[in-house]
Chain A
Amino acid sequence: MPSLLPPPPPSSSPTMSLPMLVEELLREQQALSAVEQFSQYHATTTPAQERYYHSLLPSSPPGPGEQYAFEVDLDCCSGCKACVTACHSLNGLGESETFRDVGLLIGGTSSLPVLQHVTSACHHCVEPACQTVCPTLAYQKDAVTGIVKHLDDQCFGCQYCILACPYEVPQYNAKKGIVRKCDMCSSRLKAGEAPACVQACPHQAIAIRLVKTADVAADCEANSFLPGAPDPQLTLPTTNYKTAKSFPRNMLPVDYYAAHAAHAHPPLVAMLVLTQLSVGALWIRAALPLTGLPVVEHLEPLQAISALLFGLVALGAATLHLGRPHLAYRAVLGLRKSWLSREIVAFGVFAGLASLEAGRTWLQPQMLAAPDWLGWSVLVSGFVGVFCSVMIYHCTRRSTWIGPRTFLRFFGSTVWLGLSTTLLVAAIVAGLRADLSIGSVLHDLGAVLCPALMLVAALKLTYEACDLLHLLERQHTPLKRAANLLVGELAGMTAARFTLGVLGGLVFPAVLWHEASSSHSLEWMSTVVAVWLFSVAGETLERALFFMAAAAPRMPGGLKT
């Protein structure tokens, strides 16, 4: 029986002065009393929530040919998003880091509208793209459970997995310089506890089930994964979205029409443009003797050195892209499967060979009329390097990056920048040597190189401009989304890219070609510098757009405003 009367005697003196009272209140405010008064010291170690999630876990471990998978009962997912916050809290993720997301599909008619929230995390794919592309072997697919785990300490933060995963699962943590992702709370599962999301769904919409990998493959064959989700053929995702409803044919994610420019990845842009310039410069150098021009032999040393320098800057830039550059050496581990590893190794070899070549050229210029084995190997390693770069993006199977879209861009840049760099180097060599005149050197060389440069530039710019034709498509394809970005959010950059490309690849080369041989050295020089600067700037913008307008596949998302 509580004692309501009489009132207890006052604890603080009514005569206490206001400053004293304030001081007292401020002191009281900072004292945490919950522990003494109210805390619960349970000795129990059994998880209390077990009673709710017991039925949501498989009763036995996976057998051969089986693995764990998320099962989402769409009929129970009401879009509250508790799963996202529970995963965030119970796993101690970073402030804005989330391993789960909830998207929304909308469809139907005004008389019978349909909306469906969709929770998703890592799909622990049968053929995880993240694992395939990782250069450091930081991804492991558990042989028993099938859980795709990420070794956080092994990761050096190249983020290639982010580009490769069709579901935007790996999350880059800039503060740590690594990627992290859902591991299905594997240690909870091991102890018989449910993953955080399973524990926290008020409607029991998420469960862990056993699936047969053969069944997953068969289901993916029929593309029955989820409306609006990327093609499951890419990675064979294991999550099972089940529903008793049949969705109308017009179900679309609410972020279907939303497109925002992606990250520009400046270090990658610099790396790609400069490695291609470097390789291109060496290729053109190797081809120059075919012109039969006497000036060619004078160009050789500086051409080799400058190509090497650009190549080294490119490799330096590439390491800046890594979250943890000091672990760059780990890239060799993935050589057997990762094109990123291969690219790093190929350009490493290229840089080494190019150094040897440059050194030798510098020391014994007269001995190098024709390429020998060293010269050839530099050319080949350069080609392999650029080819590996192409494959990195091709392998993500994004529409904007697939096959010729990357191949023609990268090799186009290689030739374009190789030609323009050769012109620049020729002008510098002529300027440095008393026995050569800039005008006559460029006049001779330009007659061969300028038309070639203009042809390459015209073809490449035309090819790139063709991307805008996708604006005419009826369906909102990834390519149309990319084109919309190019003429919308990225319109300024797109305009600059084509302007610089036309100036550096067409206008100034034409000027150079038709420059009178009597012109002043300074005019020659400024024209050739313009060709080079506009070309490099134009290709840099092209590469930035390559990343920014890359319409990544994604799971149905929420409304983006």
Chain B
Amino acid sequence: MTPADVLHPLSVASSLLHQTDGPFTRELLLEPSGFGLGQLPSRLQPDATTTSVCGFCSTGCNLTVHLKDGAAIGLSPATNYPVNLGMACPKGWEALRVLDAPDRATTPLMRSGRGRLERVSWETALSTFVTRMQNIQREHGPESVAWLGTGQIATEELAYLGALAKFGMGMIHGDGNTRQCMATAVVAYKQSFGFDAPPYTYKDFEESDVIVLVGANLCIAHPILWERVLHNRRQPKIVVIDPRRTETAMQASHHLALKPKSDLVLFYGLARLLIEKGWVDDEFIAQSTQGFDDFCRHVAPYTMDVVTERTGLTAAAIEEVAELIHQAERSSFWWTMGVNQSYEGVRTAQSLINLALMTGNIGRPGTGANSITGQCNAMGSRLFSNTTGLLGGRDFTDPQHRSEVAEILNIPIEKIPDRNSMSYHEILKGILEGRIKGLWVVATNPAHSWINQDQARDILGRLDFLVVQDMYHSTETAQMADLVLPAAGWGEKEGTFINSERRFGTIRKVARAPGEALADFSIFRAIAQAWGCGDMFREWTSPEAVFRIMQRLSAGRPCDFSGIDGYRQLDRDGGVQWPYSAEHAPDEQERRLFADGRFHHPDGKAKFLFEDPRPMPEPPNKDFPLLLLTGRGTAVQWHTQTRTGKSDVLRKLAPERIYVEVNPQDARALGIRPQDQVWVESRRGEIQAQVFITPTVAPGQVFIPMHYATANRLTDAVFDPYSKQPSYKACAVRLRRVG
């Protein structure tokens, strides 16, 4: 309708009757926008854009943030970024929505005499923090306070937290929620390669002939990595090894639905088969590895009979995989939580590393023994959280490493502890035993996520002083806190994340934090000052200043990234993978490690590491006849849902309440029908859930997604002896109908 039409009385009358335009129509009307974004609604037209790496998972997708007057009004996946190639999963699309939730912590909160969390000023909060922590330390020694960190904050913040806590505040013990997802991969790589160095780049998904995915449901947990698999033009064979028929298993060419926790036996069996057939790369083994002969002896007993019996697989299926690996020019082995979250995860990860080493599938395009990480900055945490490893992938027990760090940071060497931190579960044990009295929890939610939750909550409840620093005051852990420090979230602060393929990417401040919430970085600055160690952190004034410090810490290390020219270059080059030193600054956007066959052990060789499988700690029996598996439910849910639960759309796309997947055969035997509510009971707890009867879980197994608060009331607190990672994925339960 033109303005002239509007004035015409007939057209006014006709528009009263039949209105083809108006405010509602215009609200959804799309207009061309600049910035290469295509059409957008007029009220969402940006006047500038910037980019930021996503803050959910470790894929590290880059998002184009649409800005208006400096603030974000929308986002879309960045088209050219070498990770996500113009795509994002639903969590990324909704990343801004979760910022403006009503339960954001907007001021510090302190538990009052009446037992309620009440608002206090930052000054009060900081002085309370310092007074109580210092009092505890005075009374019980410096070790009596500890922290639990995260893989969800920027690397600069992780480094600040770790340095502040250990060098400034005198703590010895700190760990992160990365213990729950990546510890196994860290230890496996360190032992095998001599450094925690995931060797791959995502391009390897596209360049592989055989892609072996173990305990990894990419379609749901890493949808953008599945995108990369589908970009593979070599018609790859995709082998999924997973007890469940997952989305990824559905799409695979081969699905080996093995018995839970029989993976180590399977990979030893595969290794034996490859050796027996002579399908190994003798030259690579000789030049680049050590321990192969012992390994051969070790796998000798894993005959096909043993393996088929233990895994429940057919000999033909196993032989076919061996044949595929042999035939293929490039095989790659990928794993996620199905391997990591196990009581023998390190050896299982290493059994995959062994397969890659013995077949020479490493250092070339489309190969590798590749751990896909969980959280957006698990990799940053692995290098710089200063928890179980000293800054820059160093060792606290190595005097040389301590003196390097002391020199670079210009701090007295005595400030650096000469022993390793206790790991997560040892810290909790320390609380239980009264050795740890004060705990500082940063950007994680142990009261929901830690294994055997009732016990974990009981332990947290015993603390003299629990500080929780989080975006939301509503998390299960924040609700238990004595002091809540309100944190700005992703999108409200700056820094870098490191993704699964070792790529640094930047995050941007594109939204104003609510109320008095502060970036974790700023909170650490304020605490340093309040604690009285501000002087030690004189140079730590901004995330980018700390980035430079971290660069100095990395120089000469395997993770050297001293050649990066600040955030500008990260921005310009689509992120940069480590290593990237001043001396060696390659141009390629996608790089892998070990092309020269040299590893990080002093002799330059990778090690074959192995050990006999151990029995499952809690196998099903007569009383608890079913085996409980836990894991990711949908692509729209993240961890304990403290963030994804804040987006209306993401909430709408996920089942609202907890459910348990049950095989039809078990359901029939138990008299359970669709939509029934059941009690799921383990030796530790009993929860109510709705059944979801589906053949995608095998008979004798049930599956519960981890996103719902009660799931971990069932799980059994057992750990890998090397990585101390909890074994979330196998405990015995029983089911009965409610009512």
A residues adjacent to B (C-beta < 8 A): 1-2, 4-5, 7-8, 10-12, 14, 16, 18-19, 21-22, 25-26, 28-30, 32-35, 38-49, 51-52, 75-76, 78-82, 84-86, 88-93, 95-96, 98, 101-102, 106-110, 113-117, 136-137, 151-155, 176, 178, 180, 185, 187-188, 191, 193, 199-204, 254, 256-258, 330, 333, 558-561
- Residue in A115, A116, A561 with the greatest tally of chain B CB atoms within 10 Å: A561
A88 → chain B closest CB, angstroms:
5
Assuming the A-B contacts A22-B123, A26-B518, A30-B513, are A78 and B219 also in contact, with contact meaning beta carbons closer than 8 angstroms in the complex?
yes
Contact B517 A29 (CB under 8 A): yes
Interface string of B525-548 (1 = CB under 8 A from A): 110011000110011011001001
Give chain B residues whose Cβ lies under 8 Å from the Cβ of A12. 541
Contact A35 B70 (CB under 8 A): yes
Within 8 A of A (CB), among B446-464: none
Assuming the A-B contacts A21-B525, A49-B86, are A5 and B552 also in contact, with contact meaning beta carbons closer than 8 angstroms in the complex?
yes
Contact B675 A258 (CB under 8 A): yes
Assuming the A-B contacts A92-B27, A151-B25, are A81 and B552 also in contact, with contact meaning beta carbons closer than 8 angstroms in the complex?
no
B residues adjacent to A (C-beta < 8 A): 17-25, 27-30, 32-41, 43-44, 48-51, 65, 67, 70-71, 74-77, 79-80, 84-90, 93-94, 122-123, 126, 219-220, 223-224, 226-227, 230, 245, 247-248, 250-251, 410, 488, 492-494, 506, 508-513, 516-519, 522, 525-526, 529-530, 534-535, 538-539, 541-542, 545, 548-549, 551-552, 555, 562-567, 571, 582, 634-636, 648-650, 652-659, 663-665, 673-675, 690, 692, 694-696, 698-699
With contacts A85-B649, A558-B653 known, what are 17 further pairs, Cβ within 8 A?
A22-B126, A29-B492, A32-B511, A38-B567, A39-B49, A42-B35, A44-B34, A51-B86, A80-B226, A89-B93, A92-B27, A110-B665, A154-B18, A185-B30, A191-B32, A193-B39, A558-B654
Query: CA A147 – CA B538 in complex, angstroms?
Result: 63
Query: CA A559 – CA B655 in complex, angstroms?
Result: 6
A107 → chain B closest CB, angstroms:
8
Assuming the A-B contacts A2-B582, A8-B539, are A19 and B123 also in contact, with contact meaning beta carbons closer than 8 angstroms in the complex?
yes
Give chain B residues whose Cβ lies under 8 Å from the Cβ of A558. 653-655
Assuming the A-B contacts A151-B25, A254-B692, are A21 and B529 also in contact, with contact meaning beta carbons closer than 8 angstroms in the complex?
yes
Contact A52 B510 (CB under 8 A): no
Of A4, A21, A26, A51, the residue contacting B516 (CB under 8 A) is A26
B162 → chain A closest CB, angstroms:
19
A119 → chain B closest CB, angstroms:
11
B612 → chain A closest CB, angstroms:
30
A432 → chain B closest CB, angstroms:
46
Query: CA A114 – CA B696 in complex, angstroms?
Result: 7
B140 → chain A closest CB, angstroms:
26
Of A14, A89, A256, the residue contacting B75 (CB under 8 A) is A89
Assuming the A-B contacts A34-B509, A84-B90, A117-B247, are A78 and B226 also in contact, with contact meaning beta carbons closer than 8 angstroms in the complex?
yes
Contact A35 B67 (CB under 8 A): yes
B662 → chain A closest CB, angstroms:
11
Give chain A residues whose Cβ lies under 8 Å from the Cβ of B695. 106-110, 113
Give chain B residues whose Cβ lies under 8 Å from the Cβ of A47. 36-38
Residue of B nearest to A42 (CB): B35
Give chain A residues whose Cβ lies under 8 Å from the Cβ of B655. 558-561
Residue of B nearest to A250 (CB): B695
Query: CA A89 – CA B44 in complex, angstroms?
Result: 10
11 A-B pairs in the complex with CB atoms less than 8 angstroms apart: A10-B539, A33-B509, A39-B48, A47-B37, A48-B37, A78-B226, A86-B93, A113-B696, A191-B38, A202-B84, A202-B226
Of A101, A114, A193, the residue contacting B250 (CB under 8 A) is A114
Query: CA A558 – CA B653 in complex, angstroms?
Result: 8
Q: Which 5 A-B pairs have the closest CB atoms?
A: A153-B22, A48-B36, A47-B38, A152-B24, A85-B93
Give chain A residues whose Cβ lies under 8 Å from the Cβ of B126. 18, 22
- Residue in B39, B89, B525, B634 with the greatest tally of chain A CB atoms within 10 Å: B39
Assuming the A-B contacts A2-B551, A203-B226, are A153 and B20 also in contact, with contact meaning beta carbons closer than 8 angstroms in the complex?
yes
Contact A43 B34 (CB under 8 A): yes
Contact B19 A79 (CB under 8 A): no
Contact B48 A40 (CB under 8 A): yes
- Residue in A19, A203, A558 with the greatest tally of chain B CB atoms within 10 Å: A203
Assuming the A-B contacts A22-B123, A82-B223, A88-B649, are A49 and B79 also in contact, with contact meaning beta carbons closer than 8 angstroms in the complex?
yes
Give chain A residues whose Cβ lies under 8 Å from the Cβ of B41. 91-92
B108 → chain A closest CB, angstroms:
10
A387 → chain B closest CB, angstroms:
26
Give chain A residues whose Cβ lies under 8 Å from the Cβ of B34. 42-45
Query: CA A47 – CA B36 in complex, angstroms?
Result: 4
Contact A32 B70 (CB under 8 A): yes
Residue of A nearest to B37 (CB): A47
A198 → chain B closest CB, angstroms:
11
Assuming the A-B contacts A4-B552, A10-B538, A12-B541, are A79 and B508 also in contact, with contact meaning beta carbons closer than 8 angstroms in the complex?
no
Contact A561 B226 (CB under 8 A): no
Give chain B residues whose Cβ lies under 8 Å from the Cβ of A137. 18
A478 → chain B closest CB, angstroms:
16
Contact A34 B510 (CB under 8 A): yes
Residue of A nearest to B19 (CB): A153
Of B39, B90, B535, the residue contacting A85 (CB under 8 A) is B90
Query: CA A44 – CA B80 in complex, angstroms?
Result: 14
Contact B665 A80 (CB under 8 A): no
Contact A95 B648 (CB under 8 A): yes
Query: CA A18 – CA B571 in complex, angstroms?
Result: 34
Query: CA A76 – CA B695 in complex, angstroms?
Result: 21
B490 → chain A closest CB, angstroms:
13
Give chain B residues whose Cβ lies under 8 Å from the Cβ of A199. 38
Give chain B residues whose Cβ lies under 8 Å from the Cβ of A41. 48
Give chain A residues whose Cβ lies under 8 Å from the Cβ of B526. 18, 21-22, 25
Assuming the A-B contacts A79-B635, A80-B220, are A42 and B49 also in contact, with contact meaning beta carbons closer than 8 angstroms in the complex?
yes
Residue of A nearest to B551 (CB): A4
Of A8, A43, A52, the residue contacting B86 (CB under 8 A) is A52
Contact A82 B87 (CB under 8 A): yes
Give chain A residues whose Cβ lies under 8 Å from the Cβ of B698. 110
Give chain A residues whose Cβ lies under 8 Å from the Cβ of B36. 42, 44-49
Give chain A residues whose Cβ lies under 8 Å from the Cβ of B653. 81, 84-85, 98, 101-102, 558
Give chain B residues whose Cβ lies under 8 Å from the Cβ of A96. 648-649, 652
Contact B226 A176 (CB under 8 A): no
B189 → chain A closest CB, angstroms:
27
Query: CA A225 – CA B659 in complex, angstroms?
Result: 30
Contact B509 A188 (CB under 8 A): no
Query: CA A178 – CA B529 in complex, angstroms?
Result: 56
